[in-house]
Amino acid sequence: MKFNTESEKVPFTYRRNPLVQHAFQIFQWKDEKGDYEPVGDYTLLDTEENPELTEKTVMNIISGLNGRKDKLLNLQKMTSDRLLFNIVNKDTLDADEHITIMFRTHDGKGVSKENAVLKIEKGVIYVRAKSSE
């Protein structure tokens, strides 16, 4: 184990968006700049959601981006809803600069409900565009 493992810069981090309520900015460490640069944002649509749950969801997204599945938080005690997602712009991904992911919650009854939108620069995560065959 390296002595400085925990103090090294993680590839991704987040901050609350100071301009948009219920939103978080996602940053990626850029070696060439020696600093974190914004690469995406997570905006909550369901403003009735517990703010602590929202932030923990963002923390899990950041843990996933950092390849740290061992750091994922268990959110079962905070909600019984399932969190689903789909890539909104999969058909136009080749032309778009960002990947847009819609998160939806489902309580096990009826139709799922829009929860949040994650918009992140293409190249930060890899998504294969839909084939036109």
What is the C-alpha separation between 111 and 46, in angstroms, rounded? 15
pLDDT of residue 133: 46
Domain ranges in the chain are 5-121
pLDDT class of 1 with cuts at 50, 70, 90: very low
Kindly report the pTM of this predicted structure.
0.85
Q: What is the DSSP letter of 125?
A: B
Query: In the structure encoding, which two tokens stand for residue 7, read together?
Result: 């103090």
What is the C-alpha separation between 26 and 41, in angstroms, rounded? 5
Mind listing the pLDDT tens digit for each residue in 56-98?
Answer: 999 999 999 999 999 999 999 999 999 999 999 888 878 888 9
pLDDT class of 131 with cuts at 50, 70, 90: low
Q: Which helix (H) or strand (E) holds 92?
A: none
Residues 6 or more apart whose CB falls under 8 angstroms from that of 119 comprise 40, 41, 43, 98, 99, 100, 101
